[in-house]
């Protein structure tokens, strides 16, 4: 097996202004990667790009909304203009969306979640694959969720989108595996990111400390995860050390999936 390195790998990371995306980008920089980070917040992205460079890599950023096709195309075009191509993609952008029962779920909210969580990944994969096919190599990692494997109440669009991401990964991998391109899915469990903030309203009336206490108790390892713990798996999957891992869905969840009913 190759040592864990991303030396001179050209990587796009979406959803990179905070949380798992930001942590993964910095880790990739520490492994020698050239990283183009994207999200909607330009100020936060600039700091993440700087942290990538400070860690030993080469950091760049582009403020982009992954819910907009033109922004996705501009992101890939910027990577090409910077480096001439792309070796890896960490498609991490996603939203939790509205919490409501199915019978009351507005179609507008459904469309927004599916657009950001699923359609954006489909377009991004479509756009980067031709270059990867031409160069004969590449690795793509898509962020799903433990909700890719289990149901959850009040979040139908989120659960549907995360299940569908696994299908997209498997479909893409089945097409391009023979071309030396790998596509895998990262399944974060309960990770301490800004996505927990809306959850606090439902779990403990907005009390984040109480919410974290409740969530810690749910996990077999008795704590929720850190963004960098998911970020390291993303970096590994993009590296040559994971050269024989393809079409897989790998959880970073402290054992939570193991005790959840299927």
3-state class (DSSP) for residue 132? helix
Instruction: Please say whether the beta carbons of 256 and 220 come within 8 A.
Output: yes
Question: Is 4 domain-assigned?
Answer: no
Q: Decide: 24 and 234 in contact? Cβ < 8 Å.
A: yes
Q: Are residues 236 and 107 in the same domain?
A: yes
**For residue 41, is it within any domain?**
yes
Residues 132 and 39 in one domain: yes
Between CA 100 and CA 174, with CA 14 as vertex, the angle to 5 degrees is 90
Domain count, the chain: 2
Report the CATH number that the domain containing residue 45 is assigned in CATH: 3.40.50.720
105 and 151 inside one domain: yes
- Pairwise CA distance, residues 125 & 88, whole Å: 11
- Bridge pairing between strands 10-14 and 181-188: unpaired
Assigned token pair, 94: 């996603």
Specify the pLDDT at position 262.
Answer: 66
Specify the pLDDT at position 146: 96
Residue 5's Cβ-side half-sphere holds a number of Cα atoms within 13 Å equal to 6
- pLDDT at res. 97: 93
d(CA 213, CA 228): 20
One domain for residues 63 and 124? yes
- d(CA 254, CA 242) in angstroms, rounded, equals 21
Domain-located, residue 1 = no
Which residues of the chain fall short of a pLDDT of 50? 1
> Comparing C-alpha atoms, which of 136, 133, 117, 106 is closest to residue 66?
117
Question: In terms of residue numbers, what domain contains 66?
Answer: 10-189+227-249
Q: Are residues 169 and 231 in the same domain?
A: yes
Residue 79 structure tokens: 């990577």
In a domain, 102, yes or no: yes
Residues 64 and 179 in one domain: yes
Report, as residue numbers or ranges, the catalytic residues. Answer: 158
- Six token digits for residue 208: 């984040």
User: Does 91 lie in the same domain as 60?
Assistant: yes
What residues pair up with 183 in beta bridges, in sequence order? 140
In a domain, 106, yes or no: yes
Both 218 and 128 in one domain: the answer is no
Q: Are residues 103 and 213 in the same domain?
A: no
Q: How many CA atoms lie within 13 A of 242 on its CB side?
A: 25
Domain assignment present for residue 235? The answer is yes
Same domain? For 93 and 215 the reply is no
For residue range 164-216, list pLDDT tens digits in order: 999 999 999 999 999 999 999 999 999 998 777 776 676 767 778 888 888 89
Name the phi and psi angles at 183, rounded to 5. -135, 120
Residues 131 and 199 in one domain: no
- 72 domain-assigned: yes
Same domain, 66 and 51: yes
- CA atoms of 94 and 124, how far apart (whole Å): 13
Q: Whole-model pTM?
A: 0.95
In a domain, 258, yes or no: no
């Amino acid at each position: 097996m190759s040592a864990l390195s991303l030396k001179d790998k050209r990587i796009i990371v979406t959803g990179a202004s905070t949380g798992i995306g930001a942590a993964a980008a910095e880790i990739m920089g520490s492994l020698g990667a050239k990283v183009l980070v994207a999200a909607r917040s330009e100020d936060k992205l600039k700091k993440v790009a700087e942290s990538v460079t400070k860690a030993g890599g080469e950091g760049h950023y582009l403020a982009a909304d992954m819910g907009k096709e033109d922004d996705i195309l501009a992101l890939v075009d910027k990577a090409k203009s910077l480096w001439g191509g792309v070796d890896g993609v960490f498609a991490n952008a996603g939203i939790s969306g509205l919490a409501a029962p199915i019978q009351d779920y507005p179609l507008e909210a459904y469309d927004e979640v599916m657009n950001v969580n699923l359609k954006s990944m489909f377009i991004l994969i479509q756009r980067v694959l031709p270059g990867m096919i031409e160069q004969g190599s590449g690795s793509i990692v898509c962020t799903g969720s433990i909700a890719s494997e289990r149901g959850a109440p009040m979040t139908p669009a989120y659960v549907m989108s995360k299940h569908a991401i696994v299908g997209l990964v498997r479909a893409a991998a089945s097409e391009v595996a023979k071309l030396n391109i790998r596509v895998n899915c990262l399944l974060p469990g309960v990770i301490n990111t800004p996505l927990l903030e809306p959850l606090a309203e439902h779990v403990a009336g907005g009390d984040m400390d109480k919410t974290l206490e409740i969530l810690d108790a749910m996990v077999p390892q008795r704590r929720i995860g850190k963004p960098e713990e998911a970020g390291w798996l993303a970096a590994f999957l993009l590296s040559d050390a994971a050269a024989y891992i393809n079409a897989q869905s790998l959880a970073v969840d402290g054992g939570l999936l193991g005790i959840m009913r299927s």
